[in-house]
Amino acid sequence: MAEFELREGDVPGLVDRLTELHAAYYGRRWKLGPRFESDIATGIAEFAGRYDPSRDGIWTVVNDDDIVRGGIIIDARDVDERGAQLRYFVLASDLHGRGFGRRLLETAVAFCDDQDYERVFLWTVDGLEAAIHLYQDVGFTPTETIDVHTDWQTDVPYRLFERTYEPSSSG
């Protein structure tokens, strides 16, 4: 039986594997087409090129062969203006329901709290009930803001979720 490990930081194959996992799950589920895969690959590659571990976060689930099977990113490029963004959260379908998604999410949120990021936001597809449940469990709240992505083969409604953090005044 394969063993899996949660890793922090950049790992070889990150861009390719996270792109592939997104294309396999989201692309097939909603028939999003090649533009979706290209947009995901470009976004992950752009983030990887400016990744700064002092403010950004990357966590992956890797198997015994060091193959990325899931991941999550905290992108703090606009933290002062908009907050940190939770992005590219995905897990191989055969790992769903085994606690890896929750571990990734809780690790990313703890990082944001340690960084005193006052606002963390994410966009997710309406209808991903398991993911939405996880987000709400760690303090994200859905907003009324919806962005329907129309650039892909199928229109997809994304909803904005927010989590605010009050840094402690002691210390």
Q: What is the CATH number of the domain that holds 64?
A: 3.40.630.30
Q: What is the pLDDT of residue 156?
A: 73
Q: What is the pLDDT of residue 171?
A: 45
The pLDDT tens digits of the residues spanning 19-28 come to 999 999 887 7
Task: Answer whether residue 136 is part of any domain.
Answer: no
**Which strands, in side-by-side order, build the sheet including 119-125?**
4-8, 57-63, 68-75, 84-91, 119-125, 156-164, 141-149
How many domains is the chain built from?
A: 1
Task: Answer whether residue 79 is part of any domain.
Answer: yes
Task: Answer whether residue 161 is part of any domain.
Answer: no
Cβ-Cβ contacts under 8 Å for 43 (sequence gap 6 or more) = 87, 88
pTM higher than the cut 0.75 = yes
Write the CA distances from 152 to 27, 38, 143, integer angstroms: 10, 10, 23
Is there a contact between 104 and 70 (Cβ–Cβ < 8 Å)? Answer: yes
Range of the domain at 55: 4-118
Is the pLDDT assigned to residue 149 strictly greater than 80? no
Task: Answer whether residue 31 is part of any domain.
Answer: yes
DSSP characters for 95-123? Answer: GTTSSHHHHHHHHHHHHHHHTT-SEEEEE
Helix ranges, the chain (H): 14-22, 28-30, 34-50, 100-114, 129-137
Task: Answer whether residue 168 is part of any domain.
Answer: no
Q: If 0-12 CB within 10 Å is exposed, 13-18 middle and 19+ buried, where does residue 77 land? A: middle
Task: Answer whether residue 167 is part of any domain.
Answer: no
Task: Answer whether residue 163 is part of any domain.
Answer: no
Task: Answer whether residue 124 is part of any domain.
Answer: no
Q: Give the pLDDT band (50/70/90) at residue 34.
A: confident
Average pLDDT, the chain: 89
Percent of the chain with pLDDT over 90: 69
Reading the block at residue 156, the tokens are: 């997809």
Look at 155 and 80; give whichever has higher pLDDT: 80
